[in-house]
Structure 1
Amino acid sequence: MFKKNKIAAVLGSAALVSTVILSGCGEKEVELKTNSDKVSYGIGYNVGSGMRQEGLEEMNVAAIAMGLQDALADKERRLSMEELTAAFNEVRAIQDDKMKALNDENLRLGQEFLKKNGEREGVTVLESGLQYEVLKSGEEGAAQPEVSDMVTTHYHGTLVDGTVFDSSVDRGQPATFPVGGVIKGWIEALQMMKVGDKWKLYVPANLAYGTQSPSPKIPANSALIFEVELLSIKGKES
């Protein structure tokens, strides 16, 4: 849920990936026989995946290997600190510009979706901007959760384009959590629901994760859609 410094993340990963890069230098294929080989490959793959997710897939692997070799051999740096700082700052600025443009586009798309969705019959728009529609109602008089309660739900979460990012339904395992420990849109909706209700929530970015991203599956400034079924409230099962 916290914004990462992309360049710092790459720097922190460089030492871990050194074994993989160096062992592959000058070879077309590295044999993965021993546990050390396999763990080294796994580390390298994870680091590479992280770089790709952060938009750093264009980094020069051969140059990374050269830097690692020089450092491990205790050779003098081929570039001055001034040159390195300038290069890192430029890459960081480019990445920040790309991320800002993407975030702004996500926000625009979410706002457009919610505007049209709020006009549909059966959709209720709350003052906060949260939207919901009732898919199924529980029994009259069933218990309702308070912000301090623990609840168990089934849910299915998607982006506005239908991409699934999380689903207890798909996992076949309900989720239990404190009402006050989730995103604002859920906190507001859960306290309005009663056990047995199943609602579809349309959550604006500011009531979800806002400018932060909890995972690569949820871009920053995304409006989110959840189907939520309230199964039980701890201590209020009856």
Structure 2
Amino acid sequence: MTIDWSQERVLVYSPHPDDETLGCGGLMSKAKKAGAEVFVQFLTVGDTADQSPRGFSTAQERNAEIKAVADHFRWDDWHMALPGDKYHLRLDAVPRVDLAQVIERESPLSLERLRPTVVIAPHRTSYNQDHQAVAEAVHTALRPSNTALRHHPRLALAYEEAADQWRLDAVCPPNLVVELSEQEMRDKLRGMELYGSQTHEHPHTRSELTLRSLAVLRGMQAGVALGEGYHVLRCLA
């Protein structure tokens, strides 16, 4: 399967700031260099307890990080749908119909308004409740229907994160690998570095070595040096 990224309008769903870079930072770099449009729909952010010396990061800090990452990847636009502690790490308490409506038509980056050709979302097997809620809502929003009435992206993918892999019910390896150049790998690592409140030294699921190691593994499985793995949810040839 060969994708001409120069012809694509890519919409990435990121439950929190950094998920989009962890899951598809390399693809975003590749697509933008080819001439694609790339948009990121964040779902939520709030004050977060973490393992930093202070023990927390604020929503204000994380929004500043988004702006730096957006400039780095040269996103065409991004939007935060449901900011604040009412929603952060609590998206599983939001009715799926409400999340799906944000994705389908209410957001400035909704499927209806943006009409993307490629949609990329988290995988539903993530241990994180927000990731699961977003994955299921995107799945609902992309349900089969009459394309004359509702927009259908030509390609729908689910991205992976290293933290998802330890589940006993984790799915089989990805069935699509996007080959990455060394520069695209470096772009991904730099993007994650810009999320300073979320990066950690190895061993950690968000360390530089973890991201590179997963890229080496997925690349090896496809016979190339580096890659990002995805599960194909829909592909219209």
| TM-score, length of structure 2 as denominator length | 0.23
> Rg bigger for which structure?
1
| TM-score, length of structure 1 as denominator length | 0.23
